[in-house]
Every structure is written in C-alpha cells, then in structure tokens.
Amino acid sequence: MASNFTKELAVHSGKKVKLHKYDPEETLGVEKDHKTKQSLAKTLNRIDELQYLLYAERKHALLIVLQAMDTGGKDGTIRHVMSGVNPQGCRVTSFKVPSAEEREHDFLWRIHKAVPTLGEIGIFNRSHYEDVLVVRVHGLVSKNVWSKRYDQINAFEEYLTKNGVTILKFYLHISKEEQKKRILERVKDPDKHWKISEADFKEREYWNEYVDAYEDLLSRCSTKGAPWFIIPANKKWFRNLAVSHIIQETLEDLQLQYPKPTVDLKKLKVR
C-alpha cells in the first residue's frame, strides 16, 4: 500500500477536530481490488506473527480502543482485523452500563482492571471515553464532573504508556445516512434482529450532541503517547484495511525480539 495510514489518519496533539471536515467515504486513493485484498491478508498474517513475538517477549502490551456511533462497526472490526491472532494472547472487553459495584468506584476503576498484561493485546469495545460521551449527552453527571475527566484520562493513559502499554485509539467515522442504512439492514435481516434495541433508534436522536462530544474528546485526548485515529468507516473494507495497517506499523515500531533461551540448548538431550 502506498498510503501511510498511521500518518494520514492520526489526530495530531492539540488539533481542534471538526468531524464535518472528515469524509467517512474517504479511501486515501486506495481502490477495492485484488491487490487490496492481498494487502489485507498479508497484513493480518503479519499481525499474527507480531502478536506471537509480543507474547514471547512480554515487555510490552498493546491496548486497542474502539469507539463509534451505533452501528459504526466496532464488532466487525474486531471480527475481521483480529481474526488471525491467538485468543490466548488477546482479550476483548466490552464496557456496558456500570454495575452497582463499578458505580461505587472512580470511573477508571473498571477500566484499569481490564488493561492487558505485558505480552497481551487488549481490545476495548467502547471504553473509558463513554464517561465523556453518554454521561455528557444524557446529563448523567454534571458538566463540572465530566469536564474534568479529559485531563484525568490523559494522565491515566500517560501512566499506562510509561509502564509498557502502547495505546491505539480508533474512532470509526460513519455518516448519519450510513447509520440509517445499517439500521434498516438489521431490520430486514432476521439474523440481525438480535442486535436491534430501542436504544439504537433513541440514541440516533442525539446525533448532533454525540458529534459535539466526540469532537471534544478527539481534540483534547489525542496525545503523542496515545493518539486517536479517525478511520473513514462507511466502507467496511477500507476500515479493516486502515486499522490493520496501523496496528501492524505500531507493533513493528516496538522492534520486538524473541527472548534468549533460559537453558543451554547444547546440553539438552532428547532421550
């Protein structure tokens, strides 16, 4: 692939994000053809190899954060991009409405518990950013509370990066029209009826409020150590291609190495 997805899709620290300036149909000049399909397959295979190195070396962890509007493709991204990795070294955590126990702790308590250990890849399907999204849009806490969380999140992520956790954050950017199309497809497909909830229709009414909330978190919480990437996601094939390439490039940059053997192999004999 000619495109440098990491460079072109990253939100630079301090940049004020306006989502209407980002085209969810964008493909960076890449076309859907057999070469693109081969590139994706090659990248997924390399991610599998790099995960094995990550697991063996156990000096780094990779945390992947996925956020999107409803029907944005978080589940599909996990299913397609991480299809080849060893489940033993990869853990997916979906953050729903906080439990009674979770509500009795600070908002990052349940998040920290789910951070991957060294050698692991952890994937957050929704994340700590819900605490500056849904709680803001629906007024679940006061502005005096949620407005302080951006700095708290930045400090938390900086702490993780200083302790061996590499963080990649992907906002899967779809249009309101594409969301409507995907909701209607679910209605028409009996195999997808289980995915439908009243919340899908109700939350759509707050589209503009969520756009405002996403613009603030993307602007305030994309840092050099824990960058946000705005992934054009109307076209699922491009979404998968871009996310997979960024994951590969990030793992390659870690310069992972197999650890040296702990025994003298020359002295070992198979009897």
d(CA 79, CA 166): 21
pLDDT tens digits along 9-65? 999 999 999 999 999 999 999 999 999 999 999 999 999 999 999 999 999 999 999
What structural domains and CATH numbers belong to the chain?
A: 5-254 (3.40.50.300)
pLDDT of 168-189, one tens digit each? 999 999 999 999 999 999 898 8
pTM over 0.75: yes
Q: Distances from the Cα of 3 to the Cαs of 38, 69, 97, 190, 242, in angstroms?
A: 15, 26, 38, 38, 9
Interatomic CA distance for residues 34 and 38, integer angstroms: 6
* DSSP-derived secondary structure letter, 138: T
pLDDT digits (tens, 9 = 90+) for 49-84: 999 999 999 999 999 999 999 999 999 999 999 988
